[in-house]
Structure 1
């Protein structure tokens, strides 16, 4: 291995060249990264020195990061999250300034795993860890045009005392995320060369909902996602089921749980009702497909009138695994995410389904701010 062929060296070079404009990282660890890469290669560990980023200043201590390191992944740095005192979470503050969307610098990348999404979108890391308490993996994945998966709540230790937050992984695609997700989910104990989850039988049974019965969705965002779903149906990848995906708006229940009042009677009613409806929707291993966000990336000045979490936080309350993958672009050049939700515990099945879906959609594009190798 020489510096010219080293994956970690390439990642570090891109960070040095691109991050002064993107502001995705708060810390970079070139010396320890190079040493860990040499060790991973020498020991022939499964991930072989794959460079990844960790979310925020505490990310290196997360269960996901520890498992990736044990499998031969190499953390190259810690990525941006919202700054102190932020009252909304869809932005990041890197070492050089506020994190910018690699598709449009005047827009936020989403958050709170902001820098993680920007890092993988621009090739500064091949994967990144994240955590998702209301959409914090799926929203930046959607707005940066990458893949992000929130694991089943409780499957890994939660960084949030309420249990709403669950670990996640971001990568350029579901295929690129698979080696990392398998190590995160199985504890790094799968033998080298072990086969992945077999491809799912096609067509995948799925329910499509534009708004989950309550959200106000930007018409152009909805149209992009609907066009992607229609393409999946035409390709024989998805078979739509006639099931009602109407849920109760979870905003009040999520806020109550986050505020320490999970036993509030209305919160209990909303959660029980939505759990029952989701169980009926996903029976038989069906998927639920929705837009990942009701809105496109907003400006750095604030989130506007639509909650970007409107279509994601129901699944932090219910605990279901959920992913966002690229669905296309709005006319002003903003990426749009397709959210996929699976039954609880079916994380690897969701990953396999996401791989089948992305195979039937146009290949993900490279952001204009990703620079050149």
Structure 2
């Protein structure tokens, strides 16, 4: 992605040529995938021509000509999209999100039907940033915008085998005002992620890759966070990815401290419903043990526990999801958000990267969580090894 932008800046290629090629990929692939709710051929070419004119006039555009997809919730008006467009990106269209007709949000819808997972069309890509993850995974675009209030960027990134970051909640909060979410981006690898974040979140940088990373970090593995029900194969694949990072010298896995959070369901819903209606539908029951009631400090307790853990180690590693992608009929009683939404409550930055595959060939994600406002170290932990 950085090389593509450099070629456009040097006028070795033109943004209109890049946009035309991306539109062709979308046209050829999206009838099957249904990642896009809207495709903008005319608008894309107009923006690309403007980028070429700006480059010719000597304007520096760090992401000149890079094709992007924008999530339907926020579209080009979201903070992350506006920053990318100002840097020279060219929008191809709007990606799918859930319709709101179900209590589960790990899917996407279009007028042509549900969005398909690029790895297995009978499966969901996750959500709510469903089409964004699918479009990046299928190679239609190298970059897409997303948002994450319960895992809705990290879950589709994990299920589609791409990279996704939920920043520290206060960096780029979502528009709902409940304090649970942050805007982010999805990319194919850590290098592209850093290229995008240099533009989207320069205040959180400098963003690091392996060749500029500090000494290896300490990390603790938690397969369940103390409460989640996680399929054995998912946990095993994610743990082996963590071991690969250790073998590459990126981190040292410690056996302590033990991460024991409470299921955040009640706290999450209390915070969500404290803002204006309409309230989102509740997720299916997880079958977990009772949790702290709203107003008893459950969110503060979770944040305090994470701060205590992260005072002893630099990172907490978990699977990103407890299960593989579900079918288009939904997750049933399975809690797809069970390993992600704790960090929406606590606000910690969390990165998901491809960990490997199940025996059925479905992607598995590894989640890396670190201290507030230390987001910039996360890409360096995985670049060149997992992403």
Q: Secondary structure at the match of 1:359?
A: coil
What is the distance in 2 between the residues matched to 1:282 and 1:36? 44
Retained in 2: the 8 A contact 1:107–1:300?
Answer: yes
Give the TM-score taking structure 1 as reference length.
Answer: 0.89
Q: Distance in 1 between matches of 2:295 and 2:360?
A: 38
| Runs of 4+ with deviation above 3 angstroms | 1-5, 195-198, 264-268
Which residue of 101, 109, 126 maps to 1:110? 126
Counterpart contact for 2:15–2:51, Cα < 8 Å:
no
Q: 1:25–1:95: 8 Å Cα contact kept in structure 2?
A: no
Distance 2:329 2:235 in 1: 24
Q: Which residue of 1 aligns with 2:251?
A: 238
Q: Can you list the C-alpha shifts for 1:292-332, whole angstroms capped at 9, x where unaligned?
A: 00011011001122201000000101111111100000001
SS in 1 for 2:65: coil
Gaps in structure 1 of 5+ consecutive residues: 364-373
Q: Do 2:220 and 2:313's aligned partners in 1 also have CA atoms closer than 8 Å?
A: no
| Structure-to-structure mapping, 1:46-125, within 5 angstroms | 46-56=62-72, 58-125=74-141
In the alignment, the residues of structure 2 paired with residue 4 and residue 163 of structure 1 have an alpha-carbon distance, to the nearest angstrom, of 37
In the alignment, what sits opposite 2:270?
A: 256
CA contact (8 A) 1:11 1:123 kept: no
Question: Secondary structure, in 3 states, of the residue corresponding to 2:63?
Answer: coil
1:271 to 275, 282, 299: 299
**Partner SS for 2:317:** strand
* Superposition TM-score, scaled by structure 2 size: 0.86
Matches within 5 A, 1:338-349: 338-349=366-377
> How do residues 301-340 of structure 1 correspond to structure 2 at under 5 angstroms?
301-340=329-368
Separation in 2 of the partners of 1:233 and 1:175? 20
The offset of 1:202, in angstroms, is 3.4
Residue in 1 that maps onto 2:48: 37
- Aligned equivalent of 2:384, options 359, 364, 367: 359
Q: Cα distance 1:214–1:267, how it changes in 2: closer, same or farther (>3 A)?
A: farther
Task: Report if the CA contact (8 A) 1:94-1:115 is conserved.
Answer: no
Decide which moves more: 92-101 or 328-337.
Answer: 92-101
Q: Deviations over 1:192-241 (max 9, x none)?
A: xxx85362223221111100011110000001011111222222221013
Q: CA RMSD in A?
A: 2.2
Q: 1:204 aligns with which of 205, 217, 234?
A: 217
Please identify, of 237-246 and 213-222, the stretch whose mean Cα deviation from structure 2 is larger.
237-246
Q: Tell me which of 212, 215, 224 is aligned to 2:228.
A: 215
- Partner SS state of residue 360, structure 1: coil
Report the 3-state secondary structure (helix = DSSP H, G, I; strand = E; otherwise coil) of the residue aligned with 1:170. strand
Q: Unpaired segments of 5 or more residues in structure 2?
A: 1-11, 56-60, 276-291
Question: What CA distance in whole angstroms lies between the structure 1 residues aligned with 2:267 and 2:336?
Answer: 16
Q: Secondary structure at the match of 1:349?
A: helix
Structure 1 residues 94-243: aligned runs within 5 Å: 94-186=110-202, 197=208, 199-241=212-254, 242-243=256-257
2:31 is the alignment partner of 1:20: yes
Could you tell me how far 1:360 is from its partner in structure 2? 2.2
CA distance in 2, matches of 1:179, 1:15: 23
Shift in Å at residue 4 of structure 1?
10
Q: How many Å separate the matches in 2 of 1:57 and 1:235?
A: 38
Structure 1 residues 292 and 78: alpha-carbon distance in aligned structure 2, compared to 1, 3 A threshold? same
Q: Distance in 2 between matches of 1:243 and 1:6?
A: 53
Count of aligned pairs between the two proteins: 352
Identify the match of residue 378 of structure 2 among 350, 365, 370: 350
Counterparts of 1:266 and 1:112, CA distance in 2: 25
Q: 1:196 to 1:233 in 2, by over 3 A?
A: closer
| Counterpart-to-counterpart distance in 2, 1:5 and 1:266 | 52
Distance in 1 (CA, whole Å) between partners of 2:15 and 2:80 is 29
Tell me: CA distance 1:293–1:57, structure 2 relative to 1, closer, same or farther (3 Å): closer
Contact 1:80–1:94, Cα closer than 8 Å, also in 2: yes
Greater shift after overlay, 30-39 or 205-214? 30-39
